[in-house]
Amino acid sequence: ILPACLVPLRLEAFFGFASMAQAGAAALLDAREVGVSDMVLLRNLSNAGITENLRVRHREGLIYSSVGPVLVAVNPYTWLQVPGTTFSIYSSEVMKLYSFKSRLDVPPHIFATAEAAFRQLVLEEESQCVIISGESGAGKTEASKQIQNYVAAISGGGDNVEQVKTIFLQSNQVLEAFGNAKTLRNNNSSRFGKYLEILFDRAGRPVGGRCRNYLLEKRRVVRPGRGERSFHIFYQLMRASDKVRTTFGLGDDASAFQYLSCSGAFDVPGVDDAAEFESTLSSLTAIGIPPKRSKAILRCVAAVLHIGNASFVGKLVEGSDGCELEDSQGLDSFSSLTGIEAAALDHVLRSRRFETMAPGGAVEAYDVPQNVAQASAARDGLAKAVFERLFDHVVACLNALLEGQQSETASSEDLRSIGVLDIYGFEIFEKNGFEQLCINYVNESLQQIFIELTLRAEQDEYQREKIQWTPITFCDNKDVQLLIEGRRPPGIFAVLDDTTRTAHAQEGRQVDAKFLDELCRAHSSNPRFSRSGKGFCVEHYAGSVRYDVDSFGEANKDRLAKDMIVLMQQSKLQFVQSLFPEIVDSNDRRLEPTAGSKMVKQCGALMKALKDCTPHYVRCIKSNDKKAAMHFDSSRVEHQVTYLGLLENVQVRRAGFAYRAEFSRFLERFKILSSETYPSVFRGSDRDGCMAICTAAKSKLRTLSEDVQMGKTMIFLRRPETFFGLERLREKRIGSYAARIQKRWRAFVSRRHLLQLRKAVSRLYDGSEKVRMRASFLRPYSGVYLPQDDVSDELFELLQLPQDERVVFSDVVKQWQLAPGPLQATGVRRLLVVTTKAVYLLEDMGRRSPVPRPSAGTSWNPLRVELRRILEIRSLRKIVVSSTPDSFVVIKPVVLERREPDKSFWESDKARVSCAATGLSFGLLRRRHHCRFSGKLYCKEVCSQLHPLPDFGWYTPTRVYDGSVGHFCTDVVEDVVLQMERKSELVAILQWLGSTAGGALDVNVESCPITLSRSPCEGSKVPGSRLVFQVEPARTFDEHVSFHDGALVVRVPEVRGITTEAMRALRKKDQQRAKLREQRRQEEARIRQEAEAARAERQEQERRRRVRESKARKQAEREAREQEEAAAEARAAANAAKRQSVGRFGSAGGPNAKSGSQLVGGELAAVLARRQQTT
């Protein structure tokens, strides 16, 4: 039975895969380590070191790395496949490999993060969130979708559950159509923030959810960047069927619409907008939007395109700058599609209504004409408002459907959630505006919560485990957050709000300039802030960003004029009316919230939701800016590594302890390092097992005693080098155990095969009255009898066997040859290796010191193992054994005739002017010498060895290159006389190999003597012409060999052959031993099961305790936050009561109230003056 720590040795066998596809996917788990998968263990701790590690892994197709629990993903801009297969790394086979696996036991992958979130939700009974961050084009959207796919695949089933899964998966298509666009950096960039929560019941089944969207990039509707596209839905609608386009008054030319043509980009390579449109329609139905409402949504999308074609020209209106329609077709089409009056729309676009309070309390309304720029801005504002409300409506429909599924299944008290935050990453462009400030503010908040939660989790873990540690202090970016969102002193958003609310009479550029002046006065001493021309710079965590204040005031207003809202509410279409549900009160003077204040409020709610969950992080990185597949731009990546704070992440993890694990996990991984914990069943606690492992490893790893600390439930290692040392010890021990297991496995397989061969050999022996030695019956068999030492390693390194040639038998034997003396024979120790194709005879030369060659500037390192003869299986004629109970066997190959020396492959003398080994030039004093083995030219200093090469026709010693000694055969082809203990095994193996080689290899049992065949060439070493066996009375069990009258004489002790009764008795004893072994195995299995059950019970108790403590801690934190928020609200209410509120227009409002003319604006004041003059 294989221990779990040794799996896998062969994946298909031990994992029990149903298909080779699953076996190929499992190669991910068994892949060799490239670089460092967990960068906490990096030796070169720097941004450059992290970048280099990512580059090395990216080159091998390993796009995922980690920093402790933080996943780092590098976008390869191509779909990757599992090595050796044709399926994706996101396939269902790969999902199965990550299911129920700890993040520590599998390579980094987005599925590992999703698995960790889901298992913690079920086991810890706490809500989880996955925060995905990175630049645009770094792969955040794809990571979000893969998390949803994984959770949908592994979570529970049922009709209602499957419906919820379908809704979530189909929602991606709709949200991408309405919220994603092609940018210069990404063909499918999310232009909105999304926090998608999947709700689960106690059984881990998805039963509902909700989607929250943040800061849709409305500007893209009317002004997409050059070379970019607006939202996908516009282009999908332009590729719809003729019937659909005719219904909405659309042609087939996208350039005919101003909102689309201004960017100059209409298509995305590899994307079929027509097919995407059909997918969007089906997805709208899947998320609960019926076809009739879908048509109404598309009608409004088409209306947005049409109104962009409404253009204006300047015109004087009552002495003021006004305008009129230049082309009314776009406005008419918009009015027709939205069901409003075209004349009324024309009026609200070209004029703006102001209300004043005359003396006596009467309210007067004035329509102030708008110039071309103002009318165009009103048109664009209406288009952006319509599209934004369409997007919100789609999200609301999705949430309504998910809430309906939830209410039918479980109560809210029993629900937990996994939230996936997919929000645009940090942005730095040549010109950065209000949208970039909002985006970067959210990323600052996410970075701050990452620092807080990571650091807090780290230190809480140390405190919980009650280990000795030094408090970790790291700089955060709270000061940048206060610079943007602060109230006292006022931050950027607060100054902007104050400026836009008071500068009514000023043009947009004047408002922006005033805002910049006020901002610089408020933060002139802030080190994170500085003025830069017509803008300002903020030192973000990702670097310094310069913001251009152009259009800051207009973008911050983020509101539609009341008369515009009233007009849309008067639409004949109920759907259009539903998009504008607010109640408009002309007498309501309350200030509407600005875009900046909305962003601060939404961001605060998001951060609060994230703090109530257990966070998981995915940091996405762009490999290059050209979207080139598998191209890695090191400088670009290092910039992202820097501002994502990966180095700081590593430092946080390593400031305390680089490695930590639960006692049970550490024990399971390293138990083979101690004889107390392996292979016998360890009955103590997991903590005691860890201590036993550390005690056993301290003798080989000196730093372990200094770096290890034991907590309550976890073990901690301070330095990564200590962990690597344990891993090396583990790998070495696994190697030894694996060798044992493989040896036993081969023995079992070979034994089973050998039993079949032995039957044939036994029949042969019985038919020829061959006397068997008692030791040859029921002898244990493994097939490989060479010692597992350096000799064995060098032997196989010398042979370099191809993959289709495997070793089936090896042993140490004695080969009898003629001795150098006169008429003498000697037994030479040989290493015998039998493969599926040949028999190899090699000689162990022992350890030899390097031979210096001072004149050549080199030295020769002789091989320990040298080749003597290779006999191909197909060249063997027969195998001969005697009828006596001896240990000799004769292998008879086909004897070759003498051949002339082969020089056909030699280099010509002019082919080389210098030595092939040393590079020394040939000359008068340094002659050329051909190596008879390689044919290359060498100088004498390195080509001085003399050896025979019978395979090349050199039967007497001749010159060869020193480095080639041992790689060629030195014995001629002739009969080989071997003396060995395992003669029967060799005979059986050779007979089987002969049959598989296409012929039959005869095995002859001959009576004394056995005739030996010599080679006709020089260098023959056959010990005589005959092999004679003489059976003598048994004084000893040893054989005596001598050379007499040209024959090799073997005196064999007389032994009795084994009887049938004795054979039966031996077999019976063997069966009894096997039965006892099986009983012991079952007893060990029972003990192991009891120990595992006890451990599982202890772990479950520990889990329950941890859940209770975590819930209590979260509840205390939640109550503390609520008390802090209540106190802040009370302080704000008290401050508001002290301040005098601003009165209505025209009434006394105190010393800080503004006059009516200041609030109305310059244009309205001019109209009043003209009317007074007329009167």
User: What residues are labeled active site?
Assistant: 136-137, 141, 186, 189-190, 425, 427
Phi, psi for residue 1003 in degrees, rounded to 5: -120, 115
The DSSP call for residue 256 is G
CB neighbours (10 Å) of residue 909?
11
E-assigned strand segments in 845-953 = 851-853, 858-860, 865-872, 876-882, 888-893, 929-930, 937-938, 945-949
Residue 426 near residue 620 (C-beta atoms within 8 A): no
Cis peptide upstream of residue 291 (ω within 30 degrees of 0): no
Helices assigned H by DSSP within 155-313: 159-179, 219-222, 232-238, 242-247, 258-261, 273-286, 291-307
Cα separation, 561 vs 184, in Å, equals 34
Query: Is 240 exposed, middle or buried, given 0-12, 13-18 or 19+ CB atoms closer than 10 A?
Result: buried
Amino acid at 439: I
CB neighbours (10 Å) of residue 357?
14
**How far, CA to CA in Å, does 1090 sit from each of 1079, 1093, 1102?**
17, 5, 18
Phi, psi for residue 816 in degrees, rounded to 5: -90, 125
Residue appearing with tokens 């066998």: 13
Cα separation, 770 vs 1007, in Å, equals 9
User: CA dihedral defined by 334, 337, 338, 341, rounded to 10 degrees?
Assistant: 70
The DSSP call for residue 240 is S
CB neighbours (10 Å) of residue 629?
12
Cα separation, 861 vs 866, in Å, equals 13
Reduced to 3 states (helix: H, G, I; strand: E, B; else coil), residue 505 is coil
Residue 1102 half-sphere exposure, CB side, CA atoms within 13 Å? 17
Cα separation, 1046 vs 1011, in Å, equals 12
Copy the structure tokens of residue 905.
């492959």
Stated length of the chain: 1175
Residue 441 near residue 150 (C-beta atoms within 8 A): no
Residue 558 near residue 598 (C-beta atoms within 8 A): yes
Residue 663 near residue 654 (C-beta atoms within 8 A): no
Q: Which residues touch 541 (CB under 8 Å, ≥6 apart)?
A: 444, 447, 477, 480, 643, 645
Residue 483 near residue 523 (C-beta atoms within 8 A): yes
Residue appearing with tokens 């089933």: 157
Residue 599 near residue 215 (C-beta atoms within 8 A): yes
Copy the structure tokens of residue 224.
């997409």
Amino acid at 419: G
Copy the structure tokens of residue 743.
């040896």
Residue appearing with tokens 């951060």: 607
Q: Is 998 left (phi over 0), alpha (psi -120 to 50) or beta?
A: left
Sign, CA torsion 818/820/825/831:
negative
Copy the structure tokens of residue 1099.
């772990």
Sheet holding 1047-1053, edge to edge: 1010-1011, 1026-1032, 1047-1053, 1040-1044
